[in-house]
Structure 1
Amino acid sequence: MFGRRWLEMTWRDGLFVHWAVDPALVADTLPDRLRVDTHDGDAYLGVVPFVMADIRPRGSPIGLSFPELNLRTYVEGPNGPGVYFYNLDAADRLGVAVARRLFALPYYRARVEVTRDGEAVRFSSDRTHRGAPAATFDATYEPTGDPFTPEPGSLAAFLVENYRFYARGNRLYCGEIGHDPWTLRPADAEIRTNTLFEANGFDRPKGDPIVHAADPIDVTADRIRRV
């Protein structure tokens, strides 16, 4: 269905932080052919820091690792439901350059530091991409509860069990990924700085976010294709 999966990787040190927002707020920002997906009437904006570890062509013993930070929402599109990315900030100059040059995807170079103390992770990102809006994120997070797998149809599943993504570049692009269901844990996150909303033209959402820490997960990815 999704074609040959050609990349393998492991995602680790992941955090999902989500705010409920008015669907109209999101709808105004989406490209043609995408519409807002909601859960119980709410749209969501999510900030997701994580490390993409050991990225390699399928079957290769050699891989590349770098941290990434994205702001996302959830949509219905021509190929089905998925994630829509507003930005992908990454500490990988080559990967950012290739993604922007070939697809004009919203990747930005950033200086990122990830440190661990037991189960606690500090993730600090400062965008360094020339000509792009400034964007800074600095948080420390750690799991606080028992692991669980989101129940189908639950809010947690709506927020994390997504196997397709869309991004607007010089055209609308779509990619497919594959992995086992997420293992999540309730988490505490001290977010000292987060300017991703302002960098993407949003006001900062009101209310407390929904916070989940994610166990490491092995992922395969198909080629990004024009929709």
Structure 2
Amino acid sequence: MKNPDKILTNIHNRQYPLPKKKWKYFQQWHKTIFLHWEVPVYFLEEYIPEGIELDTYQNMAWVSLVAFEVKNMRLRNLPPFPFISNFKEVNLRTYVIKDDKPGIYMFSIETDKLAEVLLTRIFIGLPYQKSKIKRTSSRFVSHNKTLKQSLDLTIGKIRPQKEKTTLDFWLTERHALYDYMSNKLFRFDIHHTQWDLQELDVTVNNICYKAGKYSASILPDKVQYAEKLDVVLWGKVAI
């Protein structure tokens, strides 16, 4: 995207105003696969840091595993650098809220490049972990021996979404990432246009991920897919 600031002119999908400061990072999310599970609150609530609340939909919490490719990641006013600007990512999240700002809380964030782990920890401040991640047109496979996490998906047919539900919006239209580091709570503000979601046939051949007391099953309650999304991010703010 030649002018990421154009993203900021489309804010109808936000639930609170844009930050007043200028954004710091731009990236594109490609071929994003969402696997969602509906989870009783008690599986997660004690694992959410003090200061933020577990967000619920119809009194149930949700856990999501998101697998995608990041492309053209760069700092504001700098070009992307191919070796470090393009990478694969898998993250495991739940949904939280603070001060009427709904967002996400990560249980883990993985990437396939060691350089990305180092750079994101230094410059952005997110605790990325290095994993073995491979993707083809029909498979997505990830493995992290240290974290004992693994994923094996067979990717099938992509179809237009029949109808975007309130749950679809609740799960995807979030513009804050909350993190707890060194006994402090931080928020990363994010903005993107509304997700253009599609339906995806996917077979979960293997999955080994745990969020709190919940172990992800091979039968997600909901699956979503998106081909591409442009995203801007701000720096972390202590809250």
- Pair 143,82 (structure 1): closer, same or farther in 2 beyond 3 Å: farther
Deviation at 1:14, TM superposition (A): 0.3
Aligned match of 1:125: 142
CA contact (8 A) 1:149 1:182 kept: no
Partner of 1:92: 113
Give RMSD over aligned pairs: 2.3
Q: Distance in 2 between matches of 1:122 and 1:155?
A: 27
Distance in 1 (CA, whole Å) between partners of 2:77 and 2:48 is 36
Q: Tell me which amino acid in the other structure corresponds to 2:102.
A: P
Counterpart-to-counterpart distance in 2, 1:5 and 1:73: 24
Query: Which secondary structure state, in structure 2, belongs to the residue aligned with residue 41 of structure 1?
Result: coil
* Residue of structure 2 in register with 1:183 after alignment: 196
Q: Judge conservation of contact 1:143–1:213 (CA < 8 Å) in 2.
A: no
Contact 1:21 1:205 in 2 (8 A): no
Q: Distance in 2 between matches of 1:208 and 1:7?
A: 32
Match of 1:135 in 2: 149
CA distance in 2, matches of 1:103, 1:12: 20
Q: Which amino acid aligns with 2:201?
A: D
Aligned residues: 217
2:228 counterpart of 1:216: yes
SS of aligned partner of 2:210: helix
Distance 1:165 1:113, change over 3 A: same
CA distance in 2, matches of 1:79, 1:92: 35
Relative distance call for 1:223 and 1:33 in structure 2 (3 A) is same
What percentage of residue pairs aligned between the two structures are identical?
A: 23
Shift of 1:141: 2.2
**Cα distance in structure 1, aligned partners of 2:39 and 2:156:** 25
Amino acid at match of 2:153: A
Q: Which residue of 1 aligns with 2:205?
A: 192
Deviation at 1:225, TM superposition (A): 2.4
Contact 1:106-1:168 within 8 A present in 2 as well:
no
> Cα deviations across residues 121-160 of structure 1 (Å, max 9, x unaligned)?
42111125xxx42111111224442146835xx0000111
Instruction: Classify the secondary structure of the residue corresponding to 1:28.
Output: helix
Match of 2:171 in 1: 159
Instruction: Calculate the TM-score normalised by the size of structure 2.
Output: 0.82
Q: Encode CA deviations 1:44-101: one digit per residue, 9 max, x unaligned.
A: 0000000111101234332410000011000012472100100001112123124446
Q: 1:165 to 1:31 in 2, by over 3 A?
A: same
Cα distance change on mapping 1:103 and 1:11 into 2, 3 Å = closer
1:38 CA displacement = 0.8
TM-score (norm 1): 0.86
Query: In 2, distance between residues paired with 1:106 and 1:178?
Result: 21
Which consecutive residues of structure 2, in runs of 5 or more, have no partner in the other structure?
1-17
Of 11, 20, 44 in structure 2, the residue corresponding to residue 26 of structure 1 is 44
- C-alpha distance 43-7 of structure 1, shift in aligned 2 (>3 A): same
| Contact 1:8–1:221 (CA under 8 A) maintained in structure 2 | yes
Matched position secondary structure for 1:223: strand
Q: Aligned pair in 2 of structure 1 residues 221, 203: CA closer, same or farther (>3 Å)? A: same
Conserved? CA contact 2:143–2:149, under 8 Å: yes
Instruction: Give unpaired runs (5+ residues) of structure 1.
Output: none
Q: Which amino acid aligns with 1:85?
A: M
Separation in structure 2 between the aligned mates of residue 193 and residue 177 of structure 1, nearest angstrom: 31
